[in-house]
Amino acid sequence: MQSFLKKYNTFSKKIEIMAVDILLGLQWGDEGKGKIVDVIAPKYDVVARFQGGPNAGHTLEFDGHKHVLHQIPSGIFHAAIKNVIGNGVVLDPIIFRKEIDALKKFNIDFAKNLFISKKAQLIIPSHRLLDLASEKSKGESKIGSTLKGISPTYQDKIARQGLRVGDILDKNFKSYYTTLLTIHKSKLDFYQFDLSKDLAGIKDFEKYDFDFAKIEADFFSAIEFLKTFNLVDSEYLINQELSQGKSVLAEGAQGSLLDIDFGSYPFVTSSNTTAAGVCSGLGVAPSTIKEVFGIFKAYCTRVGSGPFPTELLDVVGNKIREIGREFGSTTGRPRRCGWLDLPTLKYSCMLNGVTHLLMMKADVLNDFDEINICTGYKLANGSTTDQLPYDMVKEAVTPVYTTMKGWHCDLSPYKTFDTMPVELKEYLTFIESEMKVPVSVVSIGPDRNQTISRL
Ligand code: GDP
Ligand code: IMO
Ligand code: MG
């Protein structure tokens, strides 16, 4: 008995040490995940992306640099951290090479701190054509995809015919590629895709003069480039780190309301953006997960189509867009803006088991006399609810608002929670009381240093 207990204690101690924390978006993406991952990364040994791909655009600002990452984890600027592109990610080699080129000036030792799962799926150029063809065929009801080939790539994964990063090391890779391209060509025929006309829909493909052979040549040279990086069985790498007592931060992409299962379907992305995606996207056990940092803006934005109950199609919406510079980090598209929506935030907290809330872009509301918060929805039958209807696309809801006084001042001098303007404290207290989760970080500007934390 004694020895069993001793063993058991050692075992449970080990469990306490091993931990994966998650940082993910609670809205429709672009909450400021990149900034916060960069800020908290020094507390971790590993930062890992578990889903999504180049549809993400994560912005980091420090020491006068502004940098947008798409596939590379946002811990990359910290030399001591291992950054992992996990198996749940879809990776575009052409965009990967561009990202690496853009990082050249930072002298990062990628051999030491960047690892790519061999099980991550590869985005090939025809995936992007399929994305465009599918969107065109939907006309008015298009999803508003970033056109990075995300959905067609995940479709091939589920259809068990996708190419994986590890396949590029196989001498038959070219023939695997040709087999997949043949399938894609027949799909493009179905969509009646015309390369010379339709390719113009993808901005960064214009440089190829609609010549697919040129795109392919670029793709294969990017594949050779990709081969020079650490291509690993990342589930082993991460679990080995964990068993040595190291800590891992899983970096979400997109937001919970774009989740393939729980988002505003069909206006969603094609992966599980919620905490559940971490286990399958990295190969870690549920018992390793500890803190879940849920990040949201002090208001809401959405880029692309789909329901957005608190959207402001007026001067107030325009004011938020202008002050918050709400234009896509990946596509440059103007983001739709609106008030904070607590029913969706509660839903996201529930799905993810959020343990800490992080409120971003408080400074964008500095100049408002009054700020609205949506606390519930009025349904067509006259009743009010704080739950999301089954289908927000078909069931129109009218937001019910609580109006709060704005803090109406520049937040830059504030460094601690205690000294914050009283109106901002009231805004946070109201959110905490509704969510039953503490707000542990308030971000007051895009720079690393513009962060008030009580984590
Ligand atoms: P992500 O996709 O969640 O990483 O977010 P994005 O990078 O797409 O969009 C967030 C934008 O807000 C970026 O331009 C950031 O630099 C900026 N940002 C982040 N935090 C703050 C903040 O507290 N205040 C302001 N004004 N901008 C912020
Ligand atoms: P980050 O990680 C905001 C949106 C697109 C579109 C829908 C589907 O920067 O927060 P997809 O290209 O995935 O097929 O597009 O999802 N979308 C995002 N919106 N931020 C993102 O990523 C997004 N990634 C995809 O606009 O509506
Ligand atoms: Mg973004």
Residues with C-beta less than 6 Å from any ligand 1 atom: 25, 29-35, 57-59, 61, 324, 329, 360-361, 363-364, 443-446
Residue 211 pLDDT grade (very low, low, confident, very high; cuts 50, 70, 90):
confident
Which token pair is 443?
């971000």
Which token pair is 236?
């082993």
- The string over 65-82, giving b where at least 16 C-beta atoms fall within 10 Å of a residue's C-beta and e elsewhere, is eebebbbbbbbbbbeebb
Pocket of ligand 1, candidates 24, 269, 361, 439: which has the most ligand atoms within 8 Å of its Cβ, to mutate? 361
Mean local confidence (pLDDT), 55-64: 96
Q: Looking at the CA of 447, name the nearest ligand.
A: 1
- In contact, 380 and 410? CB cutoff 8 Å: no
Query: Using the 8-state DSSP alphabet, how is residue 119 labeled?
Result: T
Q: Write down the catalytic residue from 30, 131, 156, 363.
A: 30
Mean local confidence (pLDDT), 59-75: 97
Pocket of ligand 1, candidates 66, 327, 360, 447: which has the most ligand atoms within 8 Å of its Cβ, to mutate? 360
Q: In terms of pLDDT, which residue wins out, 305 or 210?
A: 305
Residue 369 Cα to ligand 2 midpoint, Å, equals 32
Residue 9 pLDDT grade (very low, low, confident, very high; cuts 50, 70, 90):
very low
Partners of 399 in the β-ladder: 377
Residue ID of nearest Cα to ligand 2 atom 20:
29
101 is catalytic: no
- pLDDT value at 14 more than 90: no
If 0-12 CB within 10 Å is exposed, 13-18 middle and 19+ buried, where does residue 405 land?
middle
Residue 223 Cα to ligand 3 midpoint, Å, equals 26
Please choose, from the candidates 255, 238, 233, 278, the residue with its C-alpha nearest in 3D space to the C-alpha of residue 44: 238
- pLDDT value at 1 more than 70: no
Residue 389: asked if its preceding bond is cis (omega within 30°), the reply is: no
- pLDDT value at 212 more than 80: yes
- pLDDT value at 268 more than 90: yes
pLDDT of residue 3: 41
Atom of ligand 2 nearest to the CA of 30: 10
pLDDT of residue 2: 41
Mean local confidence (pLDDT), 46-66: 97
356 is catalytic: no
**Mean pLDDT for all residues in the chain:** 94
End-to-end Cα spacing for the chain:
40
pLDDT of residue 329: 76
Which residues, in sequence order, are CB contacts of 118 under 8 Å at separation 6+?
164, 165, 166, 169, 231, 232, 233, 234
Residue 7 pLDDT grade (very low, low, confident, very high; cuts 50, 70, 90):
very low
Other residues' Cβ atoms within 10 Å of the Cβ of residue 449 = 11
The 3-state DSSP class for residue 250 equals strand
Alpha-carbon distances of 300 from 206, 336, 342, 344, rounded to whole Å? 33, 8, 10, 10
Residue ID of nearest Cα to ligand 1 atom 9:
30
- pLDDT value at 25 more than 60: yes
Residue 156 Cα to ligand 2 midpoint, Å, equals 19
pTM: 0.95
| pLDDT, tens digit, 9 for 90 and up, residues 311-367 | 999 999 999 999 999 998 777 889 999 999 999 999 999 999 999 999 999 999 999
Pocket of ligand 2, candidates 23, 269, 360: which has the most ligand atoms within 8 Å of its Cβ, to mutate? 269
Mean local confidence (pLDDT), 166-186: 98
- For every residue of 375-404, DSSP letters joined together read EEEE-TTS-EESS--S-TTTS--EEEEEEE
pLDDT of residue 58: 98
Atom of ligand 1 nearest to the CA of 295: 3
Cα–Cα distance for residue pair 158/315, rounded to 1 Å:
44
Residue 115 pLDDT grade (very low, low, confident, very high; cuts 50, 70, 90):
very high
Cα–Cα distance for residue pair 22/360, rounded to 1 Å:
17
Quote the percentage of the chain above a pLDDT of 70: 96
- pLDDT value at 156 more than 50: yes
Residue 254 Cα to ligand 2 midpoint, Å, equals 6
pLDDT of residue 197: 81
Mean local confidence (pLDDT), 187-207: 85
pLDDT of residue 4: 40
Residue ID of nearest Cα to ligand 1 atom 18:
446
Which token pair is 138?
């939907």
Which token pair is 435?
């969510």
| pLDDT, tens digit, 9 for 90 and up, residues 235-261 | 999 999 999 999 999 999 999 999 999
Q: In terms of pLDDT, which residue wins out, 293 or 208?
A: 293
Residue ID of nearest Cα to ligand 1 atom 28:
446
Residue 420 pLDDT grade (very low, low, confident, very high; cuts 50, 70, 90):
very high
Cα–Cα distance for residue pair 116/297, rounded to 1 Å:
30
CA torsion 82-88-90-96 (nearest 10°) is: 0
Specify the range with the lowest mean pLDDT, choosing from 196-200, 281-285, 295-299, 449-453: 196-200
Residues with C-beta less than 6 Å from any ligand 2 atom: 25, 28-30, 55-58, 143-146, 148, 150-151, 253-255, 258, 269, 303-304, 329
Residue ID of nearest Cα to ligand 1 atom 14:
59
Which residues, in sequence order, are CB contacts of 244 under 8 Å at separation 6+?
none
Q: Write down the catalytic residue from 58, 67, 70, 356.
A: 58
Q: Looking at the CA of 54, name the nearest ligand.
A: 2
Please choose, from the candidates 373, 317, 380, the residue with its C-alpha nearest in 3D space to the C-alpha of residue 343: 373
* Helices and strands in the chain, H and E counts: 14, 20
Residue 248 Cα to ligand 1 midpoint, Å, equals 23
- In contact, 39 and 451? CB cutoff 8 Å: yes
Which residues, in sequence order, are CB contacts of 230 under 8 Å at separation 6+?
110, 111, 114, 115, 116
